[in-house]
Amino acid sequence: MHHRPLDGVRVLDLTNVLAGPYCTYQLMLLGAEVIKIEMPGRGDLARRLGPDVDLNRAGLGASFLAQNAGKKSVELDLKDDRDRASLEELASNADVLVENYRAGVLARIGFPWERLRELNPGLIYCAISGFGQTGPMSQAPAYDQVIQGLSGMMSITGTTETAPLRVGFPVADTVGGLTAALAITAALAGRGRDGEGRFLDVSMLEASLSAMGWAVSNYLVSGIEPQPMGDQNVTAAPSGTFDAADGPLNIAANRQEQYESLCRLVERPELITDPRFADREARKQHRVELNRLLNEALRRRPAQEWERMLSAAGVPAARILTVAQAVATDQVAARGFLSDLPFPPGTPRDVVERSPEGRLRVSGNGVLVDGEQLSPRTPPPVLGEHNAELPDLLRRWRSGRQSEIVR
């Protein structure tokens, strides 16, 4: 790919763990130059997070490796005057600064938005936090699971017997990071019109509530409080997980024509005209009985066979895969979603040896630009890998103009 959408954009990354690094990883994939500022000798906490103890000890935890390819790492102690001066100069010439400290921390160490704006009127400053910079909870600590619980997400995950349950991946962190990346790219576009920087205050709680869709909107609009329904979809029936001969199968026959096709394919055409199931609302009211009848028919064939038959007829249906199976599908391979990179220096030998072809595999972001996948160009950095380049970085950032998006 000759040019990426954010080529030339300079991002100062003062983030840790997941929501912030995930945001800046998206910006890097889109072409931005990302300088990751890390505490000397310690770095991002994610360097020590992951299932592989040896990687954690090496400061290359799986969580870090997954979100930081393509970035540069510079160690700065923000309590040290010389390092603070370096940060000030970087911020003076950056397009974007992203941090995910607790609300107000960067201001308390001498870099409030007012000062940063004075140093750099075109700066896009994005602060990601659990609850935002204002409000009675702004100073409360927050991790993904805390946000999942406070958003109501856990209350509707599982069944009436098992809820509340945590969603099986850090969805609140991820949604917060995506929301921040969207806001930053929008602010850069706006700056192209007026030349003005922006202060972006991203709340993971609010971003999560926004992402919950009908679970929140049904209550806000109709006063109907959502309940946990396990693997069933409250908005339609039959829509959920069903029993094939060899395991579970997801089917979402949400439209009338899809339901009728499903009934014919499972050789139960009488269910189309049965008054209990004749229309959408009737099917929702008699969901349990309809599911029982469909499961009886679906158990005659394996899940993959049903997947082929139903999909060919326009009925959304697919097997339920493990993560290992999902990343190995032909569809993921065809899109080039996964990239293989060299492991960073210092990676334990046994980790390299047990990896496919001795390479580190990382994900893209699901976007093709002009038909090409957005992939990192370099592996995740070791802590302070680019310390020696700081004088050159400062000179280059000082001498070059901000991104052409500015004007």
Give the largest Cα separation in the chain, rounded: 79
Cα dihedral sign for 296, 299, 304, 306?
negative
**Which residue of the set 173, 231, 330, 392 is catalytic?**
173
Q: Give the integer Cα–Cα distance in Å for 321 and 324.
A: 8
- Partners of 241 in beta bridges: 250
Report which of 113, 126, 121 is spatially closest to residue 92, judged by C-alpha positions: 121
CATH topology of domain 10-212+337-406: Rossmann fold (3.40.50)
Number of H helices, E strands in the chain: 19, 13
Q: Which residues of the chain have pLDDT under 50?
A: 405-407
* Domain extent listing, the chain: 10-212+337-406, 239-321
Residues in the chain: 407
Tens of pLDDT, residues 125-182: 999 999 999 999 999 999 999 999 999 999 999 999 999 999 999 999 999 999 999 9
Share the mean pLDDT of the chain: 94
Please give the torsion angle defined by the CA atoms of residues 365, 367, 368 and 373, in that order, rounded to the nearest 10 degrees: 0
Asked if residue 78 lies in contact with residue 38, where contact means CB atoms within 8 angstroms, the answer is no
Give the dihedral of Cα atoms 236, 238, 243, 246; nearest 10 deg. Answer: -90
CA–CA distance, 153 with 166 (Å, rounded to integer): 8
CATH number 3.30.1540.10 is the correct assignment for the domain at 239-321: yes
Residues in contact with 114: Cβ distance below 8 Å, sequence separation at least 6, in sequence order: none
228 within 8 A of 162, measured Cβ to Cβ: yes
Say which residues have a Cβ less than 8 Å from residue 243's Cβ, sequence separation at least 6: 249, 295, 298, 299
pTM of the model: 0.93
Strand order in the sheet with 198-203: 72-75, 33-38, 10-14, 96-99, 124-129, 198-203
Active site residue 340: no
